[in-house]
A = this chain, B = another copy of it.
Amino acid sequence: MNLDSLIQDYNNQGIATHNRRLDFIQNDVQIPSNLIQKLKDFQIAIPSWALGTGGTRFGRFSGGGEPGTLEEKISDVGLLHRLNKSSGAISLHIPWDIPSDANAIKKLAADHGLAFDAVNSNTFQDQANQALSYKFGSLQHTDRAVRKQAIDHNIEVIKHGVDLGSKSITVWLSDGSCFPGQLNFRRAYERTVESLKEIYAALPSDWKLFLEYKAYEPNFYSTTVGDWGQSYSMVNKLGDKAYTLVDLGHHLPNANIEQIVSLLLMEGKLGGFHFNDSKYGDDDLTAGSMKPYQLFLIFNELVDGMDAKGMNHAKDLGWMIDASHNVKDPLEDLLQSVEAIQIAYAQALLVDRKALEAAREANDVVRCQEILQGVARTDVRALVAQARLELGGVLNPVEFYRSAEIRKQLIQQRGSKTVATGL
C-alpha cells in the first residue's frame, strides 16, 4: 500500500475524534477567521544538516537509514512535508550539499513540493584540500588571504543559491577567541564588517543576507558576532538587504529573547529564525521541548510586530529549524519541532490584541497575564491538525510515522551504518 493510501486510512480512523476536538475549540474560544489559513501558509524550512544524528565533542551515536546524498536529504524533507505539509522548504549547507546538477536537484525538490530556503556558508571548519585554515577565524582573520578565501566561499554559496532559487544566505561565524588578549576586538570587528561588505556586494538585488549571532562556542572567550547588538550594528553598516538572524540557543543565560525579537523587528532588522530549544547553552534541542511558554512569548511578539508593520507572516521572515538530534530519530524530532512551532504560532494568533493593549495601557498586569496564560493554556492542537488536514497532511504525523514503520524502510533502503553530513 502506498503512502497516500496509508495516510488516508490513518486519517479516516482519527477523523471523528479530531472533528469533536475541533468542534469544541471552535465553540469555546473566539478564533480569528483567517487563523487556519495562516497556519496553512506558514512553512518552516528544514536544514539539510539536521536529517542525521548529531553529536557532541564527546561522541556521536548514529542511527540508521540516514541520508547519504543531497537527493536523499531532499527525499527526507519531502517526506516530512508530505506528513505535516508545513515543511515545504529545505535550507542547504555548502559545501556539504553542493549539487552536481542544480536543475535536476531543483526538479527533484519541486516534485516534493519543496522550495530552497536560505543557503548557509561554512567557515567554521576546514575542508579537505582547503588552502588556508580557519583555525583563527575567517572573515575576521588577521591574514587578508584567509579573509579572501572566506569571502570567496560565501560568494560561491550565493551562486549555488541563485542556481537553486534561494533568496537569502545565512552567515554564521564562529570567529572569535579562546583566551583573553588573543584578539584585537576592534580590528576583528572592522575586518569582519569589511569582509561582509564584500559578500554583501555580491548579493543579488532580491536577496537578503542574514547575520547570525552567538554568545559562545566554539570560541570560549569572545565571539566577534556575539550578541544581537553586535549583529545589529554590523547589518546597519551593510545596508537594507542585511538582517539579523536569531537562533534561540545562542544567548547568555536568562536572556529575554522575546524582547530582542521585538526590538529587531521594530528596527526593521529582524531577518529570520533558527528554532530549537535549550536548557544550558546551544543545546540544539527540539523546539518547544524545554521552555514552550517562551516559544509562545516569542511568537506573541512576532505576530504583534509583524502586524504592526503590515508584514506577511509566512513570507517576510525566514523560518528555519536548527537542531541536533543526539538521542532521537531525526525525522521524528523534526516533526515534533514543527508541531511545537505551529502550536506557539496558533496560540499567538489567538491573543486578543485589543484587550491586551487596553490592559497594558491601564497597567493592569494581572489582566495582561490572564490574557496570555489563558491562550497558552488553551489546547490548540486540533486547529493545527485541521490546517494540516486541509492541506492533505496527516492528523498526527509522529504517530503515523511510527505506525507506518518509515525508519525501518529507510534502514532497509540505505543501511544501518549511513552517517549524514552535519554536526
Q: Is the beta-carbon distance between B184 and A360 smaller than 8 angstroms?
A: yes
Q: Is the beta-carbon distance between B360 and A423 smaller than 8 angstroms?
A: no
Give chain A's interface residue range (CB within 8 Å of chain B). Answer: 35 or more
Contacts of A332 in B (CB 8 A): 366
Q: Is the beta-carbon distance between B289 and A180 smaller than 8 angstroms?
A: yes
Flag the segment in A68-76, A154-162, A279-287 that touches B.
A279-287
Q: Is the beta-carbon distance between A180 and B290 smaller than 8 angstroms?
A: yes
Q: A279–B223 Cα gap in the complex (Å)?
A: 12
A55 at the interface (CB under 8 A from B): yes
Contacts of A58 in B (CB 8 A): 124-125, 174, 217-218, 423
Q: A126–B265 Cα gap in the complex (Å)?
A: 33
Please give me the residue from chain B that is nearest to A356 by CB atom: B181
Contact with B along A68-100 (1 / 0, CB 8 A): 000000000000000000000000000000000
Contacts of A226 in B (CB 8 A): 256, 259
Contacts of A166 in B (CB 8 A): none
Please give me the residue from chain B that is nearest to A422 by CB atom: B57
Q: Is the beta-carbon distance between A256 and B221 smaller than 8 angstroms?
A: yes
Flag the segment in A1-9, A199-207, A373-381 that touches B.
A373-381
Top 3 closest pairs, chain A to chain B, by CB = A229-B229, A61-B135, A59-B125
Question: What are 8 A-B pairs with beta-carbon distances under 8 A?
Answer: A58-B174, A58-B218, A181-B297, A182-B360, A184-B357, A226-B256, A289-B369, A292-B373
